Chains A and B, each alone.
Chain A
Amino acid sequence: MPSTQHAYDHVAGIYFPVAAGVFVAVLVALAVLLARGARRRSPGRGEEANRLEAGYALLLAATVGVLVWITFTAETPIDKVVPRPALRVGVIAAQWSWTFRYPNGTEVTGVSTWAPPAAVVPAGEEVQFDATSRDVIHGFWVPGLHYLRQLVPGYTTRFDLLFTHPGRYLGECAVYCGELHSQMHFAIEAVAPAQFQRWLQTRGKSL
């Protein structure tokens, strides 16, 4: 089962060290050239190296190929939606509230609050979200899962998330959406599947 955290960690584990390595390499090269150039009285010749640059361009293109391959293979599974998820949750974003709607009619709503009520989901199982917005574009962002999906009014976007471990995942609206954008938070509590079923039944009855 693919998890967005895993995909992020996998790709980041390659991209960030490569980026840091390139940065350090360029800076070291620059420092060496500057130290040598500071002592030089008259400049040397050598103003073109077209063949070398063509070869270097090929090397860069190969690097692009490798990076893109890593990205594509990591992206495909997290973009996929499974036909039969363990749970399907509807998400409705609005200025400035979040509503989570469960198949049995249970709803969890938090309105422009810093301490939103938690929407409960089963941990370790595929949870499918059908998310939309009621007014303007909002962003469903769960930093702990490294996942953002923009919600556009008039369109229901479907995505799967895997909450690998039980715990509280804080979420926030990541797309600026008007005056109280700063306060548009939500919380998702991942619990063991059996515990989730008990929660859903008690919540369903109390309605």
Chain B
Amino acid sequence: MSAVAPALREVPVRGLTSTDHKRIALNLGVVAFAFFIAGGLLALVMRSQLAADGGVVSEAVYNQLFTMHGSTMVYLFVVPVALAAGLYLVPLQVGAADVAAPRLALAGLWLLVCGGITMWCGFLTSGGAAQASWWGFDPLSDLPHSPGSGIDLWLYGVVMATVAEMLWAGCIVATVVRRRAPGMTLLRMPVFSWTMVVTCLMVLFAFPALLVALGLLWAQRHVGGVLVGNSGAVAYQQLFWFYGHPVVYVMFFPFMGMAAEVVATFSRRRFFGYPAFVVALLAFSGLSMTVWGHHMFTFGQVTNKYFSLTSTALVVPAGIEYFDFLGTIWRGALRFTTPFLFALAFLAQFLVGGLTGVILASPPLDYGLNMSYFVVAHFHYTIFAGSAFALFAGVYYWFPKITGVMLRERLGKVHFALMLIGTNLTFFPMFILGAEGMTRRIAVYPRGSGWRPLNELETVGAFVIALATAVFLFNVAVSLRRRQPAGDDPWEAHTLEWATTSPPPRFNFTALPPIRSHAPLLDLREHAAARVATQEAPA
């Protein structure tokens, strides 16, 4: 019997019902990554269509592709993977034995799986999948303009995913509030945990607005008379963007937190300007709740100047955050590992997305660029060239902790180089096309526009990204098969998750080091070095 028990633990079903926060988070990460691959494949079909300027798929199919690409990436990949990282790491970083309310977190995993499958089942219906974009704007999304059940399945899927995300956010916040280890004061929490706190606060405050919007849309479709005329359309957008702008930072902060841990570790320095950084995070997340109207500058029905002011004001906390990154590297003794390279590319590329965001926050410029490929380029630079690079920094960095084995460095650097090239080839030309007048969400563009060469270049870039992803998956497979054991702390890192085994035991820790700052393991090393120095000093 005792010989069977450990083997039973390896059975997948058992793994899928575990309430261990690490197992839930790992499964969630794998599920989210599968959705990333699926959404990426849709993008490849879209890029093929645009390189050929039509002919690959019909317009109706193309509309399904971009709707499902955006929905999959936002609802099923980026937000879930961000919260998965929080579910795995926050309990470890704050020295807790488990996440608070693990059964709710597990319920979230199943909700996400069901929601994603429900949404994708749209492709099996006679009318095809949803084709009202990931926004699902009324009145395009109401019954007369979007008949068929594809959009209903989309709606149910988004609701399930959103509820799941709120459950995880609640678990993470509760863990931080209730389960910190003795000595782990709020201002000793690692930077990543702080980014998760503000992320989860945004999830809890902003995501209900999406549920309300989708509830109204459901009622409009199945009962009618709810979202009527101009006020109905505007109400849906207000609610949607009240969710939709904070969600942009939900898709940014956790990844910035990952990059911060990576940069600090590979600079061999504690993260610079910690208190200022925490204040900047709180200010940023607070401001994030006030900027949604900038998505509606071109309505002529919102107070543009107010939203322009709040949106531009984000420069202040964002500037502090960049300053602290540079301050960490300043005086650092650097190690150019794969995670560090990804984190550096995150800094450079996210900056492109951030600075073009300041441009779009100015209505006279937004009038000219909104809904064009300039905007498509802008948000792919933030979410893909930014957040996804930081995510890979985090994956290479924490993979040894999660699996107990190292990822291959050389393959990692090939992955990085291909990602860097592919990403910029794909998304930079979009700025030019947008400024030249190419609008979003078109399956074909006007003949004689001269946009084809740049579109072909973008498509080449998209396939380079696909190749990079294949290299990454190969790296994971090789590393798991031919194992290079990682040990507890292969990187000489700073935070508590590295003070336990890799992977950590069921309840995370057998003993905790003293916690006197946000980098307790760095404290230990500095302490030991100081002791050696005093012993060696001549009496």
- Check if A and B associate: yes
Q: Taking the nearest CB of chain A, how far is it from the CB of B236, in angstroms?
A: 10
Is residue A173 contacting chain B, with contact meaning CB distance below 8 A? yes
The answer, among A8, A47, A135, A137, for a CB contact under 8 Å with B365, is A8
Query: Contact: A135 with B364, CB < 8 Å?
Result: no
> How many A residues touch B, CB cutoff 8 Å?
82
Is residue B488 contacting chain A, with contact meaning CB distance below 8 A? no
Is residue B478 contacting chain A, with contact meaning CB distance below 8 A? no
Across-interface contacts of A201 in B (CB, < 8 A): none
Query: Contact: B298 with A139, CB < 8 Å?
Result: yes
Is residue A178 contacting chain B, with contact meaning CB distance below 8 A? yes
Is residue B31 contacting chain A, with contact meaning CB distance below 8 A? no
**Chain B interface bracket (under 10, 10 to 19, 20 to 34, 35 or more):** 35 or more
Query: Contact: B298 with A150, CB < 8 Å?
Result: yes
The answer, among B274, B334, B441, B446, for a CB contact under 8 Å with A185, is B446
A14-33 contacts to B (CB < 8 Å): 15-16, 19, 22-23, 26-27, 29-30, 33
Across-interface contacts of B332 in A (CB, < 8 A): 33, 37, 40, 43
B436-490 contacts to A (CB < 8 Å): 436-437, 439-447
Across-interface contacts of B315 in A (CB, < 8 A): 60, 63-64, 67
Across-interface contacts of A19 in B (CB, < 8 A): 355-356, 358-359
CA gap between A101 and B267 in the complex, in Å:
65
Residue ranges of B at the interface with A (Cβ–Cβ < 8 Å): 59-60, 63, 131, 133, 137, 139-140, 145, 228-231, 233-234, 267-270, 272-276, 296, 298-301, 304-305, 308-309, 312-313, 315-316, 319-320, 322-324, 326-327, 329-334, 336, 344, 347-348, 351-352, 355-356, 358-359, 362-365, 367-372, 436-437, 439-447
Find the A residue at minimum CB distance from B360: A15
Query: Contact: B322 with A26, CB < 8 Å?
Result: yes
State the total of A-B contacts with C-beta under 8 angstroms. Answer: 248
Q: Taking the nearest CB of chain B, how far is it from the CB of A121, in angstroms?
A: 18
- 13 pairs across A/B with beta carbons < 8 Å? A11-B364, A15-B358, A19-B356, A30-B326, A34-B329, A48-B274, A49-B327, A50-B276, A79-B363, A141-B371, A158-B300, A178-B63, A178-B145
Query: Contact: A48 with B145, CB < 8 Å?
Result: no
Query: Contact: B275 with A155, CB < 8 Å?
Result: no
Q: Taking the nearest CB of chain B, how far is it from the CB of A71, in angstroms?
A: 4
Query: Contact: A75 with B372, CB < 8 Å?
Result: no
**Given A45-B331, A47-B273, 20 other A-B residues pairs in contact with their CB atoms under 8 A:** A30-B329, A37-B333, A42-B333, A43-B331, A43-B333, A44-B269, A46-B330, A49-B273, A50-B275, A60-B315, A60-B316, A75-B305, A136-B139, A141-B371, A141-B439, A143-B437, A146-B367, A147-B368, A154-B233, A172-B439
